[in-house]
Structure 1
Amino acid sequence: MLTVNNFRYHEHVPSPALPPAPGTDDHASLALVDTVVVLPGGHRVDDLGDPGAATGWLIERGLVSDDVMLLEHCQGKLTSLRQDLRTLFDRFVEGEDPDPSALDRINAAITTVPAAPLLHHVPGRGLQRVQQHPVTKLVEYAMAHIAEDAAELVTGPLAGSIARCEALPCDRLMIRTHARRRWCSVRCGDRVRAARSYSRGRQSEDAEAERT
């Protein structure tokens, strides 16, 4: 599932799409969902579009070490979790019941590997809590961390602040920093305001044309 140590992966260059949405720096689950976005004009940007990009994203988030390289199978598992989290959050934001199949897969990601440090006896040092990361389970550990973050988010104090950007076609998820926040970035807000201004201008022109 993984190639480690001497494998040199292509450096992941973040997409030029948008700055991080509020809350994604602190919540890996939101950040994962926001790795794919549709830009104006219908251009789709996917920051996990290949194994190298997916590896780079996990390294940037501190979820795997920098001597790891995901293979295509692992990339597919990560993007599948992304889709399940998108389904979970979208239904949560709309006030709908979660999709049972997506919920089952998210729970499976949480429980596949122990996310908490295990208790081990280290000779000469006694009992210690140790976070184990077997090479074959690195991606599973990362996914467990991400899925656990989602579970904590939708059941915690920030649950009511989870929102979706309203500047279509952008649909990135975010944590509202204040009650009136509707857009994930200044860029999206400026685009909506510019469109509204243009629409008002056209309406004024049409009204003037009807009077003449």
Structure 2
Amino acid sequence: MDTNAPLLGEPLPVELMNTIWADRDGVHDALRDPDGTRAWLRAVSARTDLMAEGDLDALSTPDLDRLRGRLIGLRDALRRLAAEATGDPRPAAVSDARELDEAVTALNEAAGDTPHWFVLSWTPGQEPSRHARSGGQAASAAASAIAGEAIALFSRDIRRQLRACLAPGCVLYFLKTHPRREWCSADCGNRARSARHYQRHRRSGV
């Protein structure tokens, strides 16, 4: 099963925020159930050293459900912080984490929930290599690592590049990594231009 979340090549905290997405049928949640959660984790697993394909397959349904709850709590906190950082005006994008301090607390707790670190291996005559270790399940450690990345994102100047996509109906976030970038995707850019064109002609009566 593939995730139905839009993966835009953004940093993992932003990709997690974007597991809430919208189309003509309304707002959707890619983490709506254990299968959706597993599919999203599988889709991003290559982007973290802490989680391999087999780690996801080994998760029991109760473990996966607990992890789903953690990811949703983290996502709600991140979307609240993103709304604060961007001045997000979109009603449909509002997070369940209503207060800023509540979101900060949830993020900090998620970052420390599952300890993780890296160790060096170096056998004489071979190249040195780095290996991930964690104090719990690998997928849980990956969730904590995403929280750690989010702390770095919001505490550094890069947060000023974070944007809410203001295309009609969109609830996604993105990093403005190019001066001319205005939307999360080309599709949203096309929708926004079409909407502007429609409004201009409507006002002019053409």
Return the TM-score normalized by structure 2: 0.75
**Change beyond 3 A, Cα 1:200–1:109:** same
Higher relative contact order (CA 8 A, sep 6+): 1
Q: Secondary structure at the match of 2:203?
A: helix
Partner of 2:96: none
**Is the Cα contact below 8 Å between 2:114 and 2:134 reproduced in 1?**
no
Runs of 4 or more consecutive aligned structure 1 residues displaced over 4 Å after TM superposition: none
5+ residue gaps, structure 2: 89-98, 122-128
Q: Secondary structure at the match of 2:28?
A: strand
Partner of 1:112: 113
The sequence identity of aligned pairs, in percent, is 27
Q: Does 1:73 align with 2:66?
A: yes
Q: Quick check: which one's helix share is greater?
A: 2
Which letter does structure 2 place at the counterpart of 1:141? A
Larger radius of gyration: 1
Give, in whole Å, the separation in 2 of the partners of 1:129 and 1:190.
43
5+ residue gaps, structure 1: 1-10, 121-127, 207-212
Give, in whole Å, the separation in 1 of the partners of 2:22 and 2:39.
21
**Is the Cα contact below 8 Å between 2:168 and 2:191 reproduced in 1?**
no
Q: Does 1:156 align with 2:156?
A: yes
Which letter does structure 1 place at the counterpart of 2:39? G
Deviates more, 1:155-164 or 1:84-93: 155-164
Partner of 1:175: 175
Query: What is the RMSD computed on CA atoms of the aligned residues?
Result: 2.7
Q: Does 1:132 align with 2:133?
A: yes
Which letter does structure 2 place at the counterpart of 1:112? D
Give, in whole Å, the separation in 1 of the partners of 2:79 and 2:162.
12
Give, in whole Å, the separation in 2 of the partners of 1:129 and 1:178.
32
Give, in whole Å, the separation in 2 of the partners of 1:129 and 1:189.
41
Give, in whole Å, the separation in 1 of the partners of 2:66 and 2:114.
18
Q: Secondary structure at the match of 1:116?
A: strand
Partner of 1:141: 141
**Is the Cα contact below 8 Å between 2:70 and 2:110 reproduced in 1?**
no
Give, in whole Å, the separation in 2 of the partners of 1:37 and 1:78.
15
Partner of 2:196: 196
Give, in whole Å, the separation in 1 of the partners of 2:67 and 2:109.
16
Give, in whole Å, the separation in 1 of the partners of 2:194 and 2:167.
11
Q: Does 1:93 align with 2:83?
A: no
Which letter does structure 2 place at the counterpart of 1:107? N
Deviations 1:11-61 (A, max 9, x none): 2x232x75x33x51xx110000001112245x1222212111111211221
- Aligned pair count reads 179
Q: Does 1:46 align with 2:29?
A: yes
**Is the Cα contact below 8 Å between 2:42 and 2:53 reproduced in 1?**
yes
**Is the Cα contact below 8 Å between 1:48 and 1:54 reproduced in 2?**
yes
**Is the Cα contact below 8 Å between 1:109 and 1:140 reproduced in 2?**
no
Which letter does structure 2 place at the counterpart of 1:173? Y
